[in-house]
A and B are shown apart, each in its own frame.
Chain A
Amino acid sequence: MTDQAVVSLQNLTVLRGDTTALADISLRIRSGERVALVGPSGAGKSTLLHVINGSVPPTSGRVEVFGADPSSLTATSLAALLARIGTAYQDLALVGPLRVIHNVNAGRLGSWSLGRALRSLVKPVDITAAKVVLARLGLEDKLWVRTDRLSGGEQQRVALARLLVQDAELILADEPIASLDPARGREVLELFCGIARQDHRTLIVSLHAFDLALEMCDRVIGLREGRVVFDAAPENVEPAMARSLYDLGRA
């Protein structure tokens, strides 16, 4: 089970216009791994996450997520695949005027039928599941509150709850803590890693905070100019490797 590949990339190259976003990347990410993608801005971290969730097609090379190539699937099987991948965004992308319950339930839209989705807007379904998830995040009393009336931190946790009810096996997070202060950033990252650890989910998170990546993840991949510079367990990451990522002189 543990060495089953969730994501497998072979000689992946992505060109965006004239620039090479990703160059010849080969990776295997196994189920249950917590992977941090580190590197300077423009290194290709976001592009890599977008390739994995199927929103950017590879220019060449092979991509397999849960054993299937997202770009070759029919609409129906792509929706089924996407329902297994949860993506967290830095800007949360919540719908402000909706109540918390609906924003949380929106995580299930990939697996719900349309009729069920529309019915739930009138009379919410699966309230218990949503409550359990919110309780875990300390928000159980906010179920019926309009989302835009919550504080920034609470909204962050609502977005996380949406990810949790989606019950995704693979969680992708694109710089989820870039706009937070250090203490809050640590808290949010702990939430992500805690969820991944407890429920045995796979987590791929792109980070600028190098030390947090070393502390909380069990695999760190350094990217620079679209190439993998290193790929190692945190205990094997040398300070020199970090310098090689960010050193501006070595272009």
Chain B
Amino acid sequence: MIGAAVDDRADSLVVTSIATWEAAGRRTADWSKPVGLWTRRLWLVAAAALAGWAFWATGLGRRSLVNPRGWPQVRSFLAAGVHPDLSGEFGKIVVDATITTIGYALLGSLLALVIGLSGGLFMSELWWRRPRHPSGRPRLIWFIIRSLAVVPRGIHEAVWALSLVAILGRDPLVGVLAIGIPFGFITAKVVAEMIDESAVRPYNALRQAGSRRLPAFAYGVVPVVGSDVVSYAFYRFECAIRSSVVLGVIGAGGLGFQFAVSFQAVRSREIWTLIYTVVLLAAGIDWWGARLRATASRRRIVLSLVVALALSILSVVHLGVSFRRATSARTQRLFTRFLHESWPPRLPLGGWHALQRAVLDTLQLSVVAISTAALLAIPLGYLGSRRRTETAGRRAVGWFTRLGLLVLRAVPPPIWASLFLFVLLPGPVPGGFALGCYTIGVLGRLNASVMENIDRRPGRVLRRLGASRTAVLSYADAPLALPRVVALSLYRWEVTIRETVIVGLVGAGGLGRLLGQQQAAFDRAGIVTTVATMIALSFLIDVISSRLRRDLR
């Protein structure tokens, strides 16, 4: 199964286009305007300065970051890797935790699909076009809906979970909602993007012929984007599994929770069992998703939907999800109190200075993570990409690279952070590296897909006129792949900004840590400020990165 997940080629095109949909920025951007050499140089200098600052500020190379006493611990931890805890007692715990993790992910993705489908419709430009002016600007309401949808999507699952716990208490519904709401709004954006990208012409043709809005959508849009939406939904499920593990770390139960328990007790053999479990789980779901996307066979899709539905019902029972608590008078009271305590927002302890400090730390964390990851993901993506013809040695290298990337992204960032804390002193460095590890895993896979799908013809032509392999790489393959690789790395930077929350919560610093402190002190009004700052920061990064993507294109 791992072999198949690591070896699926047909999937790579779909994976890159999914990333492109997610990365799609404001479509009004003018792509045709040529950009001067100086603009590019300016960006490069700015990027280098930012990365330089981020690394300098960590104190890397200036003060000791390594905890030398940790080495024996690392050695014994690594030694435990060959004999993980396979006892029946722990095995039962792991199986139970795995079912819990899958359950949250499944119910969360189902909710996300419901939100995504309905939201996607209303977020598409197409829905709001004035019927008489199919090419005119969409109505104002479209802009408002789109802008409002940024908020739920900009709040990380972990933050949703912490806020919902305040209202619902420790209820299984929290995990489902915490995954379902943000993922739902991301899905809605992607669905809207798909609709506006591919269904405009068929829809307009039907409207022109006098059809009403809803039938025109049913005949002109649904068939066009249907299969893409299905494959995206299953891709989201893969992401939901990872999220579900992360939520476990902060208390929702399941594999993440077991990780935290085993870490606290420093039971290395159990940690290894859990690592192997998450890797197997990730591989299995990758494999399932790849099968599904590779052949858009109706039978397989229907089968998957039926299985998903059956498993969802089982999950509801297993997790004990019910709305009884959510609709109780107590919840209403707590919700009112929650709103009351949250408003008006208040600055964190330490005022503007503390907030500014946290923003800079978050920025620094994200830059350390993304620049390490972006640089390493290029060679790893290259090694991990598949070729039509390859020697046995090259194939082995590719297979192991892909396996490594799978492990990097299957193990959640807080776990990486805990592992780094064996040898590194606490602070932004282990947090940055932990996020970096995870991002390498994701970005390496995306880069590999880009490199597998570039146009091979120019390279073949140069080969035919006698150019060496390296010359072909530098004159054809690299220039063709690089713009997309850079665009994907910039897109992952936005994601990384949001993800800093989870390493922050476990102590790496930045807005995440601030949030953790405020959570512990029940400072709701402060949390609102921190979350708003977070959203503003990721919005700013989104603006910068889409500018950059355009200028470097």
Residue positions of A touching B, CB distance < 8 A: 53-55, 78-83, 85-87, 89, 91, 93-98, 102, 106-107, 109-112, 114, 117-118, 121, 145-146, 149, 166, 168
- Are B466 and A110 in contact, CB atoms less than 8 angstroms apart? yes
- Are B464 and A53 in contact, CB atoms less than 8 angstroms apart? yes
B320 contacts A by Cβ under 8 Å? no
Give the CA-CA distance A97 to B482 in the complex, in Å: 9
Among the listed A55, A93, A98, which residue makes an inter-chain contact with B479, where contact means beta carbons less than 8 Å apart?
A: A98
Interchain Cβ contacts under 8 Å between A and B, 17 examples: A53-B464, A82-B464, A82-B466, A83-B465, A87-B461, A87-B465, A91-B457, A93-B458, A93-B460, A95-B458, A97-B479, A97-B483, A102-B475, A106-B476, A110-B466, A112-B471, A114-B471
By a CB distance below 8 angstroms, the chain A residues around B455 are 93
B468 contacts A by Cβ under 8 Å? yes
B350 contacts A by Cβ under 8 Å? no
B462 contacts A by Cβ under 8 Å? yes
Q: A143 to chain B: closest CB distance in Å?
A: 13
By a CB distance below 8 angstroms, the chain B residues around A91 are 457
Known: A85-B465, A168-B465. 18 other contacts (CB 8 A): A53-B464, A54-B464, A55-B464, A79-B468, A82-B464, A87-B461, A93-B461, A96-B480, A97-B479, A97-B482, A97-B483, A98-B475, A102-B475, A110-B465, A110-B467, A114-B468, A114-B471, A117-B471
- Are B34 and A149 in contact, CB atoms less than 8 angstroms apart? yes
Residue positions of B touching A, CB distance < 8 A: 32, 34, 455, 457-458, 460-462, 464-468, 470-472, 474-476, 479-480, 482-483
3 A-B pairs with least C-beta separation: A110-B466, A109-B467, A82-B466
Among the listed B457, B475, B480, which residue makes an inter-chain contact with A89, where contact means beta carbons less than 8 Å apart?
A: B457
Most buried by A among B465, B467, B468, B483: B465
- Are B466 and A106 in contact, CB atoms less than 8 angstroms apart? no
Give the CA-CA distance A140 to B354 in the complex, in Å: 58
- Are B465 and A121 in contact, CB atoms less than 8 angstroms apart? no
Q: B480 to chain A: closest CB distance in Å?
A: 6
| B interface secondary structure, majority | helix
By a CB distance below 8 angstroms, the chain B residues around A121 are 474-475
Most buried by B among A95, A107, A145: A95
- Are B479 and A109 in contact, CB atoms less than 8 angstroms apart? no
Q: A167 to chain B: closest CB distance in Å?
A: 11
Q: Which residue of chain B has the shortest Cβ distance to A166 in the bound complex?
A: B465
Q: Which residue of chain A has the shortest Cβ distance to B35 in the bound complex?
A: A146
- Are B466 and A83 in contact, CB atoms less than 8 angstroms apart? yes
Among the listed B474, B476, B479, which residue makes an inter-chain contact with A118, where contact means beta carbons less than 8 Å apart?
A: B474
Give the CA-CA distance A211 to B474 in the complex, in Å: 41
- Are A87 and B482 in contact, CB atoms less than 8 angstroms apart? no
By a CB distance below 8 angstroms, the chain A residues around B479 are 95, 97-98, 102
- Are A95 and B464 in contact, CB atoms less than 8 angstroms apart? no
Q: B73 to chain A: closest CB distance in Å?
A: 45
Q: A83 to chain B: closest CB distance in Å?
A: 4
- Are B461 and A89 in contact, CB atoms less than 8 angstroms apart? yes
By a CB distance below 8 angstroms, the chain A residues around B475 are 95, 98, 102, 106, 109, 117, 121
Q: B332 to chain A: closest CB distance in Å?
A: 57
Give the CA-CA distance A112 to B479 in the complex, in Å: 19
Give the CA-CA distance A85 to B457 in the complex, in Å: 17
Give the CA-CA distance A97 to B472 in the complex, in Å: 15
Give the CA-CA distance A102 to B460 in the complex, in Å: 16
CB-CB under 8 A for A79 and B466, given A97-B482, A97-B483, A149-B34: yes
Q: A166 to chain B: closest CB distance in Å?
A: 6
By a CB distance below 8 angstroms, the chain A residues around B474 are 117-118, 121
Q: B482 to chain A: closest CB distance in Å?
A: 7
Give the CA-CA distance A106 to B478 in the complex, in Å: 13
By a CB distance below 8 angstroms, the chain A residues around B476 are 95, 106
Q: A127 to chain B: closest CB distance in Å?
A: 15
By a CB distance below 8 angstroms, the chain B residues around A110 are 465-467
Q: B391 to chain A: closest CB distance in Å?
A: 16
By a CB distance below 8 angstroms, the chain A residues around B461 are 87, 89, 93
Most buried by A among B34, B455, B461, B474: B461
Give the CA-CA distance A114 to B475 in the complex, in Å: 11
- Are A109 and B464 in contact, CB atoms less than 8 angstroms apart? no
Give the CA-CA distance A106 to B472 in the complex, in Å: 9
Q: Which residue of chain B has the shortest Cβ distance to A84 in the bound complex?
A: B466
Q: A192 to chain B: closest CB distance in Å?
A: 17
- Are A97 and B465 in contact, CB atoms less than 8 angstroms apart? no
By a CB distance below 8 angstroms, the chain B residues around A102 are 475, 479
Most buried by A among B32, B455, B482: B455
CB-CB under 8 A for A146 and B470, given A98-B479, A109-B475: no
CB-CB under 8 A for A109 and B457, given A98-B479, A114-B468, A114-B471: no
By a CB distance below 8 angstroms, the chain A residues around B468 are 79, 109, 114
Give the CA-CA distance A96 to B458 in the complex, in Å: 10
By a CB distance below 8 angstroms, the chain A residues around B466 are 78-83, 109-111
Q: B108 to chain A: closest CB distance in Å?
A: 39
Q: B141 to chain A: closest CB distance in Å?
A: 36
- Are A109 and B480 in contact, CB atoms less than 8 angstroms apart? no
Give the CA-CA distance A111 to B482 in the complex, in Å: 26
Q: B39 to chain A: closest CB distance in Å?
A: 13
Q: B301 to chain A: closest CB distance in Å?
A: 35
Q: Which residue of chain A has the shortest Cβ distance to B469 in the bound complex?
A: A114
Among the listed B465, B467, B480, which residue makes an inter-chain contact with A95, where contact means beta carbons less than 8 Å apart?
A: B480
Give the CA-CA distance A121 to B479 in the complex, in Å: 10
Q: A199 to chain B: closest CB distance in Å?
A: 17
Among the listed A79, A114, A145, which residue makes an inter-chain contact with B470, where contact means beta carbons less than 8 Å apart?
A: A114
Among the listed B34, B467, B471, B472, which residue makes an inter-chain contact with A146, where contact means beta carbons less than 8 Å apart?
A: B34
Among the listed B465, B470, B483, which residue makes an inter-chain contact with A107, where contact means beta carbons less than 8 Å apart?
A: B465
Most buried by B among A78, A85, A93: A93
Q: A111 to chain B: closest CB distance in Å?
A: 7
- Are B471 and A97 in contact, CB atoms less than 8 angstroms apart? no
Q: Which residue of chain A has the shortest Cβ distance to B470 in the bound complex?
A: A114
By a CB distance below 8 angstroms, the chain B residues around A95 are 458, 475-476, 479-480
- Are A109 and B34 in contact, CB atoms less than 8 angstroms apart? no
By a CB distance below 8 angstroms, the chain A residues around B471 are 109, 112, 114, 117
By a CB distance below 8 angstroms, the chain B residues around A53 are 464
Q: B115 to chain A: closest CB distance in Å?
A: 37
Give the CA-CA distance A95 to B470 in the complex, in Å: 16
Q: B190 to chain A: closest CB distance in Å?
A: 26
Q: A151 to chain B: closest CB distance in Å?
A: 13
Most buried by B among A109, A112, A118: A109
Q: Which residue of chain A has the shortest Cβ distance to B32 in the bound complex?
A: A149
- Are B464 and A106 in contact, CB atoms less than 8 angstroms apart? no
Give the CA-CA distance A82 to B461 in the complex, in Å: 11
By a CB distance below 8 angstroms, the chain A residues around B460 are 93
Q: Which residue of chain B has the shortest Cβ distance to A91 in the bound complex?
A: B457
Q: A28 to chain B: closest CB distance in Å?
A: 23
By a CB distance below 8 angstroms, the chain B residues around A109 are 462, 465-468, 471-472, 475
Q: B118 to chain A: closest CB distance in Å?
A: 38
Q: Which residue of chain B has the shortest Cβ distance to A78 in the bound complex?
A: B466
Give the CA-CA distance A53 to B483 in the complex, in Å: 32
Give the CA-CA distance A52 to B480 in the complex, in Å: 29
By a CB distance below 8 angstroms, the chain A residues around B457 are 89, 91, 93
Among the listed B462, B482, B483, which residue makes an inter-chain contact with A106, where contact means beta carbons less than 8 Å apart?
A: B462
By a CB distance below 8 angstroms, the chain B residues around A145 are 34
